Amino acid sequence: MSIIIFLIVLAILVLAHELGHFLLAKREGVRVEEFGFGFPPRLFSKKKGETVYSFNAIPFGGFVKMKGEDGDKESIKDSRSFSEKSFRARAYILVAGVAFNLILAWVIISINLFIGMPTHASLISGEDLARADKKILVVDVSLESPAKRMGLEIGDEIIGFGNIEEFQKFVRLHQGEDIKIIYKRGGEKLSTLVYVRENPPEGEGSLGIAMNEAVSLKYSWYKAPIKALEVTTSFTYLTLKGLFSFLWNIVKGTGQFNEVIGPVGIVGATSSAAQLGFSYLLAFTALLSINLAVINILPFPALDGGRLLFMAIEKVRGKNFNEKTIGMVHTAGFGLLVFLMLLVTYKDIARLF
């Protein structure tokens, strides 16, 4: 089930990104030869009009194949070739994927703020904090713990306490005893008796649960999009700041790949978000969309930002690069990206053992 949810989320993100390229390419009169979800080998496809729509075996991405995007000689002087379009038109097409991911994040956050978007209490203040619905949520349950044996699950809301500190104090006062915990699950109020361990294993609490003090922000339908724009901008800035900090630490030799997660880690994170509730899954999807936008705008070969960089250099020097050289650079960049993804995936798997 976790993998299915992850693939649905991934499909939404990839389709939004590639739809941006596709629609702007069509708008600028570029011939789109293929719109693909995933990377080859191809599983199945359907041609409609001049475009082949394909579904491919490697699901971690997608592509829009445009006539002349690699500068092949056959496309020279073809008015519908990407390479023959103006700098402005080509830049619009490349940036459109990033823009659509940010727009998707804004739409998702708008919906979430209308139905009630969860966030950590420490991230808001003032009027927002005063209007928020505060909750103590179980975000992890240790195996073989008292809480696990008594049926507590990720996403359960502990009720009857003002904050986590108040609940932890209550637990400490009853070590070695059974305590009654009242909680909500799916809108239903439940209760259970849980034994409070006096000497829990290292890294676990007396009950064996980890908690998060969450608040749910909710706005009217007309205020939600305005607030969502502010939240999307803030999340994008924080994502950029975190990414550049990580890259700078890598350059200095102090960065660790354990700080990032790959496909395996994202599957687990998606599953955890889904367990906490639909609003958490929406928030996580919006964050993934923002991350996808930020990564794609980096000036690295094979990414949209890398293609923009080479286009800008060509514009300044007034001369195009050799198409074979550019192809090799982007191929090498793609190969390095695949290697990094495999490395991070290995780190993800290693964390499981």
Q: Are residues 192 and 99 in the same domain?
A: no
Q: Are residues 131 and 111 in the same domain?
A: no
Of 189, 217, 245, at which residue does a domain stop? Answer: 217
What is the model's pTM? 0.79
**Residue 340 token pair:** 């990094």
Number of domains composing the chain: 2
Q: Are residues 96 and 175 in the same domain?
A: no
Q: Are residues 21 and 69 in the same domain?
A: yes
pLDDT in tens, 131-166: 566 788 898 898 889 999 999 988 898 998 888 889
Q: Are residues 102 and 186 in the same domain?
A: no
Residue 41 lies in a domain: yes
Residue 49 lies in a domain: yes
pLDDT in tens, 88-147: 999 999 999 999 999 999 999 999 999 888 776 656 656 665 556 678 889 889 888 999
Q: Are residues 60 and 140 in the same domain?
A: no
Residue 163 lies in a domain: yes
Q: Does the annotation count 213 as an active-site position?
A: no
- Nearest CA to 178 out of 202, 146, 209 is that of 146
Of 18, 28, 69, 157, which residue is the catalytic one? 18
Q: Are residues 7 and 93 in the same domain?
A: yes
Of 157, 192, 217, at which residue does a domain stop? Answer: 217
Residue 62 lies in a domain: yes
Domain that holds residue 323: 2-115+265-351
Q: Are 174 and 201 in contact (CB under 8 A)?
A: no
Q: Where are the alpha helices (DSSP H) in the chain?
A: 2-27, 87-115, 126-131, 146-149, 164-172, 224-252, 263-276, 278-296, 304-317, 323-351
Q: What is the mean pLDDT of residues 206-232?
A: 88
